[in-house]
Amino acid sequence: MTTADLLGKILQVVMGLAVFAAIVGLLVFFIDRAPKKGRDYWQLVGFLAPAIILLAIGLIWPAIRTTGLAFLDNSGNFSWDNFIWMFTQPAAIRTLINTVIWVLFVPTLATALGLAYAVFIDKSRGERYYKALVFMPMAISFVGAGIIWRFVYEYRAGEREQIGLLNAIVTGLGGEPVQWLQTDPLNTFLLIVVMIWIQTGFAMVVLSAAIKGIPTEQIEAAQLDGTNAWQRFMNVTVPGIRGSLVVVLTTISIATLKVFDIVRTMTAGNFNTSVVANEMYTQAFRASEVGRGSALAVILFLLVLPIVIYNVNILRKQREIR
Amino acid sequence: MRFGKAGRVVTAVAALGVSALALSACTGDIAANEDVDCTEYEEYGTFDGAEVTIGGTILDLEADRLVESWSDFAQCTGINIEYQGSSEFEAQIAVLAEGGNAPDIGIVPQPGLLARLAEGGWLIPASAEVEANVDEWWSEDWKQYGTYDGTFYAAPLMASIKGYVWYSPTQFEENGWEIPQTLDELTALTEEIAASGEKPWCVGLESGDATGWPATDWIEDWVLRLHGPEVYDQWVTHEIPFNDPRIVEAFDAVGEYIKNDDYVNGGIGDVSTLVTEAFQTAGLPILDGECSLHHQASFYETFWNAEGGDDVVVASDGDVFGFLTPPATAGDPLSVTGGGEFPVAFRDAEEVETVRAFLSSDTWANNRVSLGGVISANTGVDPENASSELLVQSIEILQDPETTFRFDGSDLMPGAVGADSFWRGVVAWVTGQSTQETVDAIESSWPSS
């Protein structure tokens, strides 16, 4: 890059920002000068329009187009082939099954572990440090986590030195090294462990905050009633944080449905570990089968939709209570 | 008030100027090379302020050499050529093209991808100069790979020969082993090595999300040798199904070697390690004498000295060398599979076509081959310009009119097969799936249109 190019680019950025500021300024100016009659209406339109236009360009139109593409074959004719392929090909069916397994295990286990951890460290000494310890994996990207865990599962044949932690332990105990990532169906669960490792921190932080929000009086009253710790947990704590629990569960579910990076970096979908999002990318971009990719995207969308609706409903109800 | 505003503007401009001065020290404008002989480039004319962007999968050292190969041309013609390499190029190029953001020239490594881009209507057909160059310097086969639906889109760029079997000449000499002349002799040699208690072959199929492709090279080599170029062509164009008995036969012939615990995986482990061993490092145990044979393309030469330098001598009397996978029966004509790239154009402009004409010339091919590490099927290339004995030999094979050359099969098949189900199929096959199940699954993934 030459200096002239660089200056040109800087100038472009400055110009862009200036134009943006000018447009926003003008908009605000005109909204302010809107006729008295129906001013509220004009203001509403003025402030909502940019967001709605961007949403339409960036979300609604692509969603419509993807749905359309899902019903086209490679030469652009209408066909059901993409969906037929998805529900008849053993490999594609396996992808759907794997996604179901992911959604069953990751949210429940991550939330359960996060909750247990939050309860155990609650009001303990050094709580902050314990929290940081579990929360830290959240700071690592999924790709980074995938690479780290691939080393954990790394395999070297019997006589060679093990560089994978897990196999080093196994051989240290006198066992034979295992091809962890190739052993189906164990490998899917080993990938799930990575996701749980990342998401437990999130669950723990949110639930810990919710636990602290439970009035002490309730717990003391339960204590006076002669309940043991487990009864207090089940009858006071859990009902008290129900809203947060649902939010955590649904948020992790959505994250799990679209999991892609972990699978792609660790096995690239080989050995029967592929999931819908990974397959979607592979079909659309590597295999140049845009229709198949779009069909998978549509399925993913349909799977996420009920969870999102449920999540929004719960949030709304919570707000009403408050 | 007014004055104050102007003063602020002046300050801002001054600040910008200072930072520009500071930045210019870092960006380093490329100094023009004084002593370039421009006579060779006169035919391309001169341009004023023309700019051509090129995108491709070529990275690191290879990318530097690529840029160097056209630097004189760029200086003499005044065309500023920007190269941007990305390992995701193949996945992104169609998206970029559809959005109108593709580079002026895309170096596409697969005829299948070229066909798809042409089908999308994004490619500019090659100019008459490019076509004349190709007619002059390349074989009819090669021209065909740059053609889609009767329109010629791009000239080949570089090339590689697949199907080399790398071995240690010293080890062969010590043990009195001969270089096999037929596939049966290759089997006999493998058995002989295995009988001595050593694992004869080293195989590695791991390559990130492209894991499995080295095994497809094996299959393609065996299909071509066992059944000839006609069946090979029918196979890649789907005139015969993927699960044709002849393809099954080729799979099984390869399976004899790579799915056999007694024959693989020298110094690394059992058959299950094939898919976790990176293809870049898989052949290296030959240097430690832990295996004797490694099937990989001519470009594997670069990997013997992984750290750079030339500690490992690649020569017929050195540490390692390669022989071509032999024909099925003695005396059969030489059949090889190989690969190459095609610079396709996305922008219709004179400077773009001028660059493409230059890239298809013998001048460029000689320039690039002299810089080392690669070969070209351009018949105008002087084999002596190649950087090693093996590459000299490879160029001679490519230039020999008697050679039956076929492009890498998976690169010719539709992406759904060639860049997906074939790769995944062989991974499942190597890790235990039966041949019939594998070819059936790949066949059913072949797109209907």
Q: Using CA atoms in the order B301, B302, B305, B311, what is the torsion angle rounded to 10 degrees?
A: 60
Q: Cβ–Cβ of B414/A75 closer than 8 Å? A: no
List pLDDT tens digits, range A257-270. 989 999 999 998 88
Mean pLDDT computed over B129-157? 93
Cα nearest neighbour of A85 on chain B: B445
**CB A86 within 8 Å of CB A292:** yes
Contact predicate A294/A237, CB 8 Å:
no
CA distance B357 to chain A (A): 25
Residues A87-144: pLDDT tens digits?
Answer: 988 888 999 999 999 999 999 999 999 999 999 998 888 899 999 999 999 999 999 9
B448 contacts in A (CB within 8 Å)? 73, 81
**B416 touching chain A per CB within 8 A:** yes
The pLDDT value recorded for residue B5 is: 47
Distance from C-alpha of B232 to C-alpha of B407, rounded to nearest angstrom = 10
Provide the pLDDT for residue A322: 57
- Each residue of A24-49: pLDDT tens digit? 899 888 888 878 888 888 888 888 88
Cis status, amide bond into B133, omega within 30 of 0? no
Q: Which of A61, A167, A263, A270 is the best substitution to test chain B (most B C-beta atoms within 10 A)?
A: A270
- Hey, is the C-beta of B23 within 8 angstroms of any chain A C-beta? yes
Is A160's Cβ below 8 Å from some Cβ in B? yes
pLDDT at B379 > cutoff 80: yes
Which structural domains are found in chain B, ordered by start?
3-158+341-381 (3.40.190.10), 161-337+409-444 (3.40.190.10)
**Cβ–Cβ below 8 Å for B94 and A158:** no
CB nearest A2 (choices: B29, B113, B441): B29
**Cβ separation A3–B23 shorter than 8 A:** yes
A223-262 pLDDT, tens digit each = 999 889 899 999 999 998 988 999 899 999 999 998 999 9
Among B373, B389, B393, residue whose Cα is nearest residue B317: B389
With 80 as the cut, is the pLDDT of residue B69 above it? yes
> Does any CB of chain B come closer than 8 Å to the CB of residue A67?
no
pLDDT value of position A321: 63
For B38-71, the DSSP string reads: -GGGGGG---SS-EEEEEES--HHHHHHHHHHTH
The C-alpha atoms of residue B298 and residue B311 are separated, in whole angstroms, by 18
Query: In degrees, to the nearest 5, what angle opens at C-alpha A297 toward C-alphas A295 and A300?
Result: 115
- Pairwise CA distance, residues B419 & B409, whole Å: 11
One-letter-per-residue 3-state SS of chain A: CCHHHHHHHHHHHHHHHHHHHHHHHHHHHHHHCCCCCCHHHHHHHHHHHHHHHHHHHHHHHHHHHHHHHHCECCCCCECCHHHHHHHHCHHHHHHHHHHHHHHHHHHHHHHHHHHHHHHHHCCCCCHHHHHHHHHHHHHCCHHHHHHHHHHHCCCCCCCCCCCCHHHHHHHHCCCCCCCHHHCCCHHHHHHHHHHHHHHHHHHHHHHHHHHHCCCHHHHHHHHHCCCCHHHHHHHHHHHHCHHHHHHHHHHHHHHHHCCCHHHHHHCCCCCCCCCHHHHHHHHHHHCCCHHHHHHHHHHHHHHHHHHHHHHHHHHHHHHHHC
Which amino acid is residue A175, in one-letter code? G
What percent of chain A has pLDDT above 70? 99
Report CB contact under 8 Å: B419, A264: no
For residue B444, the chain A residues in CB contact (below 8 A) are 89
Q: Is the pLDDT of residue B24 over 70?
A: no
Yes or no, beta carbons of A285 and B95 under 8 Å apart: yes
User: Does B6 have pLDDT greater than 50?
Assistant: no
Q: Is B276 on the interface with A (CB under 8 A)?
A: yes
Please check the confidence at residue A55 and state whether its pLDDT lies above 90. Answer: yes
- Per the CB < 8 Å rule, is B27 touching A2? yes
pTM for the structure as a whole:
0.84
- At B387, the pLDDT band (50, 70, 90 cuts) reads confident
Chain-chain contact of B415 with A181 (C-beta, under 8 angstroms): no
Separation of alpha carbons A180 and A202, rounded Å = 27
What pLDDT, on a 0 to 100 scale, did the predictor assign at position B26? 41
* Interface probe with A: pick from B9, B26, B27, most Cβ of A within 10 Å: B27
| A283 interaction partners in chain B (CB closer than 8 Å) | 416, 420
Q: What is the number of other CB atoms lying within 10 angstroms of the CB of residue B305?
A: 13
Q: In terms of DSSP bridges, do strands B151-152 and B147-148 run parallel, antiparallel, or are they unpaired?
A: antiparallel
Contact B326, B422 (CB under 8 A): no
Average pLDDT of A287-314?
A: 90
Give me the residues paired with residue B320 across strands.
B314
Q: If we measure between CA atoms, which residue out of A140, A162, A144, A142 comes closest to residue A153?
A: A162
Contact B420 A6 (CB under 8 A): no
- Say which range, A230-234, B5-9, B200-204, B412-416, has the weakest mean pLDDT: B5-9
Asked if B420 lies within 8 A of A283 by C-beta distance, the reply is yes
User: What DSSP character marks residue B400?
Assistant: -
| Position B4 confidence tier, pLDDT thresholds 50, 70, 90 | very low
More confident residue, A320 or B164: B164
Q: Distance between alpha carbon B77 and the CA centroid of its chain, in Å?
A: 29
What percent of chain B shows pLDDT beyond 70?
92
Nearest residue to A270 (alpha-carbon basis) of B439, B218, B445, B276 = B276
- Tell me whether residues B16 and A10 touch, CB distance under 8 A: yes
Find the mean pLDDT for residues B416-420. 89
Q: Residue A282: list chain B partners with CB under 8 A.
A: 209, 420
Contacts of B212 in chain A (CB under 8 A): 270
B70-101 confidence digits (pLDDT tens): 999 999 999 999 999 988 888 889 889 988 89
Given a cut of 70, whether residue B64 has pLDDT beyond it is yes
Contact flag A289-B447 (C-beta cutoff 8 Å): yes
Residue A286 and residue B448: Cβ atoms within 8 Å?
Answer: no
Residue B319: name the closest of B396, B397, B388, B217 by CA.
B388
User: Using an 8 Å Cβ cutoff, are B188 and B326 in contact?
Assistant: no
Select from B20, B212, B419 the Cβ nearest to the Cβ of A287. B419
The per-residue pLDDT for A37 is: 80
pLDDT digits (tens, 9 = 90+) for B307-335: 767 788 889 998 999 999 999 988 888 89
